[in-house]
Amino acid sequence: MKKVLIKLAKKLNEANITWALGGSLILKHHNIVEKVNDIDIIIARVDITKAKAVLDSLGSIQEITPKGIYKTSYFYEYVIDLIEVDVMCEFMIDNQGIYNYNFDDSKIIDSEIIDNTEIYYTSLEDWLVLYMLTGRTSKVELIKKYFETSFKLDEKLLEKALKSAPKKIKQDIESWLRNNKKGDVLSN
């Protein structure tokens, strides 16, 4: 998987595309999980056409129509050297209203250099909210445990992620924060 990630990152960077990793690779980046099954990449809307051309040159596409709560405008599944790569742009979830994960370069909060290639990451705070919205309870619990024991929660990032979240998600986060003496990060 590392080879595919490096190959993909090099090509996206060469094409000057705004992108970052999401999903389980964020959990792996923070040592919350050891193994991931695929690569999830978020692309800025202004770059989706260029990104699709890069991905088309690297692998084979299986276009998937978002289903159920997923209302993502651009979702593609690629296979590159036998590794599944999910590509999302205008990532939207319909859970008590549409939650639009407005990805742009401000959502890139971390990066690292692997084999002379810069790899970009979205925030764990974003993925706490996204996993709550999609009902991925086991991943929500892993992230909460991590914040409780290993990492200083960035309250500003969490507040920004919760800005357009449904009231129930905000209440659940607020309750969790109170129970763990993290304070009240939500401004009403």
Q: Measuring CA to CA, how many Å separate 71 from each of 7, 92, 99?
A: 29, 5, 9
CA-based nearest residue to 15, from 56, 61, 62: 56
- Secondary element (H or E) of residue 7: helix 2-14
Parallel/antiparallel/unpaired status of strands 83-89 and 39-43: parallel
d(CA 96, CA 82): 36
Q: Virtual CA dihedral for 65, 142, 20, 166, nearest 10 degrees?
A: 60
Q: How sure is the predictor about 185, in pLDDT bands with cuts at 50, 70 and 90?
A: very low
pLDDT value of position 62: 85
Mean pLDDT throughout 72-94?
Answer: 93
Q: pLDDT exceeding 70 applies to what percent of the chain?
A: 94
d(CA 167, CA 70): 19
Q: Measuring CA to CA, how many Å separate 170 from each of 64, 93, 128, 158?
A: 30, 15, 11, 10
Which token pair is 46?
Answer: 């202004």
CATH code for 2-179? 3.30.460.40
User: Per mean pLDDT, which of 45-49, 74-78, 97-101 is the most reliable?
Assistant: 45-49
Q: Virtual CA dihedral for 121, 53, 36, 109, nearest 10 degrees?
A: 0
Segment 109-161, tens digit of pLDDT: 999 999 999 999 999 999 999 999 999 999 999 999 999 987 688 989 999 99
Distance from CA of residue 2 to its chain's centroid? 18
Q: Is the pLDDT of residue 188 over 50?
A: no
Q: Is the pLDDT of residue 187 over 70?
A: no
Q: How sure is the predictor about 54, in pLDDT bands with cuts at 50, 70 and 90?
A: very high
In sequence order, the 6+-apart residues with CB closer than 8 A to the CB of 143 are 27, 32, 124, 127, 128, 131
Judge whether 93 and 70 are in contact, CB under 8 Å: yes
pLDDT value of position 182: 56
Q: pTM for the complete prediction?
A: 0.90
Q: Is the pLDDT of residue 183 over 70?
A: no
d(CA 162, CA 130): 10
Q: What is the mean pLDDT of the chain?
A: 91
Which residue has better confidence, 150 or 20? 20
